[in-house]
Amino acid sequence: MTGTAHLFIPGPTNVPADIQRAMIVPMQDHRAPEFAEILQPVLAGLKPVFGTSEAQIALLPGSGTAAWEAAITNTLSPGDKVLMARHGQFSALWADMALAMGLKVEIIDVAWGAPCPVREVERRLGADRHGEIKAVFVTHNETATGVTSDVAGIRHALDASFHDALLFVDGVSSIGSIPFEMDAWGVDMAIAGSQKGLMCPAGLGIIAASPRALAAMDTSTMARSFLDLRAMLAAHQAGSFCFTPPAQLLHGLRAALTRLQTEGLANVFARHQRLAEGIRAGVAAMGLKMVAEHQIFASDTVTAIRTPQGIDARDVIAIARNRYNTHFGGGLGPLAGKAFRIGHLGDLNEGMCLTALGIAELSLKAAGAPVVLGAGVTAAQHVYAGVAQAPALSIAAE
Ligand code: PLP
């Protein structure tokens, strides 16, 4: 195919050229004292991105899923009860993992498209008179549905119930793109990966452990070896890893953190919000519905879009890929065939979002959806230009 391939999946995201170049380095001795010169700035630079000065950060060769597992096996014990909402593919997979690791999982099932229900969490915590719930798991940004949950609200629910369960938060598709306040929200385990907001290739799970989480490691009896956080934190302290690290990725992460610092985190968050608003305006102008049940909790990093009745989202995705060299995310689990996703996180600007909407329109049209070509792009342009749109376009309904 000619031209640039457009990657609009919600991770891995586009790796900017300076980060790519930063990773072209010779192999180095990860046991040499100078290895700390690359590791320490990465660990220090990640702290503001996680919104923490108190937590300790470990880098785990693997991905976000490895960090999910590390959060569980380093702080909990077999048979412990944990509380979590299931409202999308990733919260569902994390619940499956918790079950597989021998935890008792109290699941709050809510619609895919809703956020983690703060009031119901508070009710369950209040009813837990004997403190059986040892941890609450929250998927901050459900990448499958494009929904962001209120982590501060969950912290409030814990405090209001005088409950001392640990708070684990999956920030895989939020950290580095939208505000994340680990210390202010009292998060005990915060989880990210290298390949989304941090604009690097996949290969590192990143986990930040609060002082409470570190203390819980003293009593946890789960088996752990490769993902033993205390061993990794001690190795980091000494300037290295427990085993051979993906050193190139650390160079990439350092360059990514420099980018985030240079742009300024507040500006990074504002950019993601602005770009997402354009995408949402475009989706509405196409006459389509988001999977997110309400704008209030629609994600600023990924938008999951329902295709009109009778239009298979898999066809839309295949047309975009085969005709237009453009990659959208598929609908996951029960949303397969019913939704497609535009990832809008990481190294991204207005032009890229307009391209995503323009290709979505072309692909939807070719799949038989009654969209008015240009309607979505025009609506997004008005958002990006900061001007109101004349109420002239007639939008085809599904
Ligand atoms: N959690 C969320 C919210 C995700 O979006 C993903 C992957 O997309 C994961 C966890 C799993 O992360 P990984 O694929 O890096 O293992």
Task: Tell me the average pLDDT across 211-222.
Answer: 98
* Dist. CA 175–CA 307, nearest whole Å: 28
Residue whose entry in the numeric block shows the structure tokens 């991204």: 348
**Res 394: pLDDT:** 52
Q: pLDDT-derived band of residue 85, with 50, 70 and 90 as boundaries?
A: very high
pLDDT of residue 144: 98
Count helices and strands (H / E) in the chain: 13, 14
Q: Identity (one letter) of the amino acid at 127?
A: A
Beta bridge partners of 339: 306
**Nearest partner of 122 among 91, 95, 144, 153, judged by Cα:** 153
What integer pLDDT is reported at residue 398 of this predicted model?
44
pLDDT on residue 397:
46
The predicted pLDDT at position 323 comes to 97
Residue 1 scores a pLDDT above 90: no
* 265-277 residue pLDDT tens: 999 999 999 999 9
Which atom belonging to ligand 1 lies closest to the Cα atom of 205? 15
For the stretch 340-394, pLDDT in tens is 999 999 999 999 999 999 999 999 999 999 999 999 999 999 999 999 887 655 5
Tens of pLDDT, residue by residue over 89-106, are 999 999 999 999 999 999
pLDDT for residue 395 is more than 80: no
Q: How far apart are CA 335 and CA 57, in angstroms?
A: 34
Max Cα–Cα distance, the chain, nearest Å = 66
Q: Which atom of ligand 1 is found nearest the CA of 68?
A: 10
Q: Which residue has the tokens 């975009």?
A: 320
Mutate to test the pocket of ligand 1, among 172, 204, 227 (most ligand atoms within 8 A of CB): 172
From the CA of 329, how far away is ligand 1's center (Å)?
13
pTM of the model: 0.97
- pLDDT at residue 209 in the model: 98
Q: Which residues contact 54 (CB under 8 A, 6 or more apart)?
A: 182, 183, 210, 211
Phi then psi for 133, rounded to 5 degrees?
-75, 120
pLDDT exceeds cutoff 70 at 286: yes
Q: What is the mean pLDDT of residues 35-64?
A: 98
The rounded Å distance from CA 64 to ligand 1 centre is: 5
For ligand 1, the distance from its centroid to the CA atom of residue 171, given in whole angstroms, is: 9
Q: Which amino acid is at 312?
A: D
**CA-based torsion, 120, 126, 132, 136: positive or negative:** positive
> In the predicted model, what is the mean pLDDT of residues 173-182?
98
Burial tier of 31 (Cβ tally within 10 Å: 0-12, 13-18, 19+) = exposed
Q: How large is the average pLDDT for residues 282-302?
A: 98
Q: What percent of the chain has pLDDT over 90?
A: 97
C-alpha span between 20 and 88 (Å, rounded): 32
Distance 136 CA to ligand 1 centre (A): 18
Helix axes 350-366, 375-385, angle to 10 degrees: 170
Q: What is the DSSP letter of 34?
A: G
Task: Answer yes or no: is pLDDT of 110 > 50.
Answer: yes
Q: Please indicate whether residue 139, judged by its CB atom, sits closer than 6 Å to ligand 1.
A: yes
Instruction: Give 147 Cα–ligand 1 centroid separation in angstroms.
Output: 14
Ligand 1: which residue has its CA nearest to atom 13? 64
Average pLDDT, the chain: 97
Closest CA to 163 of 171, 172, 175, 154: 154
Question: pLDDT (tens digit, 9 = 90+) per residue, 58-73?
Answer: 999 999 999 999 999 9
Task: Check if 69 has its Cβ closer than 6 Å to any atom of ligand 1.
Answer: no
DSSP, collapsed to helix, strand or coil, labels residue 243 as coil
Query: Which residues, other chains included, contact 123 with Cβ-Cβ below 8 Å and sequence gap of 6+?
Result: none
Burial class (CB in 10 A: 0-12, 13-18, 19+), 295: exposed
